[in-house]
């Protein structure tokens, strides 16, 4: 369980406010004045988490350089790395990479960062995180959903979500992997009237089914 620091010191408050507002120079000044780089606010949010949440890239860069923990989770189980999937900030994602994010760390829904990014249609982030990290494209969250399923179930079926689906499939997302009720992404797409997405998923299912059949025959 995350321990929430109830009463940050004055220096810590200055650091947290500077991170939130994106004042990189004030971040350095607060640290020099005695603020702890892992200082937390009343909700357990670290300075780096606040910088990531508000997409304060330069403040984030300074904090990572000072050794701030990219995996530090707050009371809601958000971490600097995990919230980049929510904001969709590719630049912040790349700032955090030198801090060696734990790609298996999960949010309160049991998901890794690519899942909320897929839900929100963050095309650039989904492409970048799959190309630049070894994140598991087929990770299943506590709802029984992969990034592919979440892009369809919670997405809007437009161009952004279509592109996300295409990127996920190209990165190895399994179109045959169903949700906890046995419903595939294509079935969900058809139910929601997402015809273009359903067609892409059907083609992927046929291709994957053919590969699986070929593999079985080879053995």
CATH number at residue 4: 1.25.40.20
Q: Are 165 and 85 contained in the same domain? A: no
Poorest-pLDDT segment among 7-11, 43-47, 192-196, 202-206: 7-11
Q: Are 122 and 216 contained in the same domain? A: yes
What local confidence, expressed as pLDDT, does residue 109 receive? 97
Percent of the chain with pLDDT strictly greater than 70: 92
Q: Are 52 and 115 contained in the same domain? A: no
Q: Is the pLDDT of residue 213 over 70?
A: no
What local confidence, expressed as pLDDT, does residue 202 receive? 97
Q: What is the mean pLDDT of the chain?
A: 93
Q: Are 29 and 122 contained in the same domain? A: no
Q: Output the CA–CA distances (angstroms, integers) from residue 208 to 64, 93, 204, 212, 216, in the order listed.
A: 41, 31, 6, 6, 12
The domain boundary residue, chosen from 74, 102, 130: 102
Q: Are 205 and 127 contained in the same domain? A: yes
The domain boundary residue, chosen from 46, 71, 102: 102
What local confidence, expressed as pLDDT, does residue 173 receive? 98
Phi–psi pair at 37, nearest 5 degrees: -60, -25
Q: Are 163 and 63 contained in the same domain? A: no
Q: Are 114 and 202 contained in the same domain? A: yes
Of residues 75 and 215, more confidently modeled: 75
What local confidence, expressed as pLDDT, does residue 210 receive? 58
For residues 144-165, give the mean pLDDT: 98
The domain boundary residue, chosen from 42, 76, 102: 102
What local confidence, expressed as pLDDT, does residue 211 receive? 58
Q: Are 97 and 116 contained in the same domain? A: no
User: pLDDT-derived band of residue 207, with 50, 70 and 90 as boundaries?
Assistant: confident
Q: What is the 3-state secondary structure (H, E, C) of the chain?
A: CCCCCCCCCHHHHHHHHHHHHCCHHHHHHHHHCCCCCCCECCCCCEHHHHHHHCCCHHHHHHHHHCCCCCCCCCCCCCCHHHHHHHHCCHHHHHHHHHHCCCCCCCCCCCCCCHHHHHHHCCHHHHHHHHHHCCCCCCCCCCCCCCHHHHHHHCCCCCHHHHHHHHHHHHCCCCCCCCCCCCCCHHHHHHHHCCHHHHHHHHHHHHHHHHHHHHHHHHC
Q: Is the pLDDT of residue 116 over 90?
A: yes
Q: Are 114 and 98 contained in the same domain? A: no
Domain count across the chain:
2
Q: Are 74 and 52 contained in the same domain? A: yes
189: containing domain: 110-219
Q: Are 85 and 152 contained in the same domain? A: no
Task: Specify the pTM.
Answer: 0.91
Taking only the tens place, the pLDDT of each residue in 171-203 is 999 999 999 999 999 999 999 999 999 999 999
- Which two structure tokens, joined as six digits, stand for 201? 């998923």
Question: What is the Rg, in whole angstroms, of the alpha carbon atoms belonging to the chain?
Answer: 20
What local confidence, expressed as pLDDT, does residue 216 receive? 44
Q: Are 114 and 173 contained in the same domain? A: yes
* Other beta carbons within 10 Å of 4: 13
For residues 22-47, give the mean pLDDT: 96
For residues 94-120, give the mean pLDDT: 98
């Amino acid at each position: 369980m995350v321990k929430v620091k109830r009463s940050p010191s004055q220096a810590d408050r200055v650091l947290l406010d500077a991170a939130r507002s994106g004042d990189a120079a004030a971040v350095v000044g607060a640290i020099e004045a005695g603020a702890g780089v892992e200082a937390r606010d009343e909700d357990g949010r670290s300075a780096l988490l606040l910088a990531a949440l508000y997409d304060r890239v330069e403040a984030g860069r300074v904090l990572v350089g000072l050794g701030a923990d990219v995996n530090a989770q707050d009371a809601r189980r958000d971490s600097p790395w995990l919230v980049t999937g929510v904001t969709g900030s590719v630049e912040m994602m790349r700032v955090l990479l030198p801090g060696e994010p734990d790609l298996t760390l999960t949010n309160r829904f049991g998901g890794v960062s690519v899942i909320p990014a897929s839900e929100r249609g963050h095309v650039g982030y989904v492409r970048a995180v799959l190309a630049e990290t070894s994140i598991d494209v087929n990770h299943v969250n506590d709802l029984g959903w992969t990034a592919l399923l979440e892009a369809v179930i919670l997405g809007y079926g437009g161009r952004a979500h279509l592109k996300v689906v295409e990127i996920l499939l190209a990165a190895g997302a399994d179109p045959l992997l169903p949700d906890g009720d046995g419903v595939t992404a294509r079935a969900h797409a058809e139910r929601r009237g997402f015809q273009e997405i359903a067609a892409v998923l059907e083609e992927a299912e046929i291709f994957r089914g053919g590969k699986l059949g070929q593999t079985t025959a080879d053995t």
